[in-house]
Amino acid sequence: MGIDHGLDKALILKVQAELFNIFEELKKFIPQYGKFYRPVRYEDIDRKQVNQIIELVAKEDKAAIEQAIPLMRQLLSGLNFPDFDDKIFEAQVPGGMLSNLYNQLKEMGQLELMDLVLAEIPQVRADAGYVPLVTPTSQIIGSQAAFNVMNGRYELISEPFKMIFRGEFGRTPAPVNPEVAALVLEPGDEIRHYRAASYLLPVLEDQYDLPYVKTHKDLLLHLLFGQSAEAFLQKKYGLS
């Protein structure tokens, strides 16, 4: 693009090399290790193709963008990046969610269900009011999609998925599917319509008559970490 960013190119390459060293050390935890990824040098990039893509994108019209997309995929493929996967695009699955889903199915010995789960995710997300696929709702949607594929649609419903329908993660971007809500919600369930934090009780105002809670910090540890903090605090005050 002809823009001087003022960064040291040699230092950038040095950092990149160190990242690949870390990647090498973690290889036994990375299912795709050895299939993709290698250091990319400036000389590896087809500058003419990059400029062509930039010119098309700068036009900001649909026809030009559609023309630029295959060129971008071709460029990335030439740099040994993974090929574009339509299923990932349709499911709108982010990388972290995909790797978690892969590992969960692998541990269960049902990796062959991956494509079916990816196909199910958009429907589950729509049923849940199009919640964003970010932590923690991405994992909730992915897990529910897996349950649907393995057990039948909404035959098994996770508690976190029910929490979405009860509004415990806040208001969903779109209304939830009323037919699915009838399956998910139980009589007497309280539906929260406002900011989730507004329903939290002021726990720090309660009285805690515990021998190992002597300071505000002790109380926070007790509330946050439960039994783990209890063991620590009892040892701290010589009560165990």
Structural tokens at position 4:
């001087």
Residues 116, 80, single domain; the answer is no
pLDDT more than 90, % of the chain: 45
Are 212 and 240 contacting, i.e. CB atoms less than 8 angstroms apart? no
Mean pLDDT of 158-184: 95
- Quick check: pTM over 0.75? no
pLDDT of residue 204 exceeding 90, the answer is no
Tell me the three state secondary structure of residue 171: coil
DSSP string, 107-166: HTT-GGGHHHHHHHHHHHHHHTT---SSTTHHHHHHHHHHHHHHH-TTTS--HHHHHHHT
- The reported pLDDT for the residue numbered 208 is 79
Residues 98, 72, single domain; the answer is no
- The reported pLDDT for the residue numbered 120 is 95
Whether 3 is in a domain gets the answer no
Are 167 and 192 contacting, i.e. CB atoms less than 8 angstroms apart? yes
Exposure of 86 by Cβ count < 10 A (0-12 exposed, 13-18 middle, 19+ buried)? exposed
- The reported pLDDT for the residue numbered 5 is 74
Q: Which residue range(s) make up the domain with 52?
A: 9-84
Residues 68, 97, single domain; the answer is no
Domain count, the chain: 3
Mean pLDDT of 50-68: 93
Please tell me the distance from the alpha carbon of residue 133 to that of residue 209, in angstroms, as a whole number. 42
Lowest mean pLDDT among 67-81, 91-105, 139-153, 175-189: 91-105
pLDDT of residue 35 exceeding 90, the answer is no
- The reported pLDDT for the residue numbered 32 is 66
At residue 36 the predicted structure's pLDDT band, cuts being 50, 70 and 90, is low
Residues 47, 66, single domain; the answer is yes
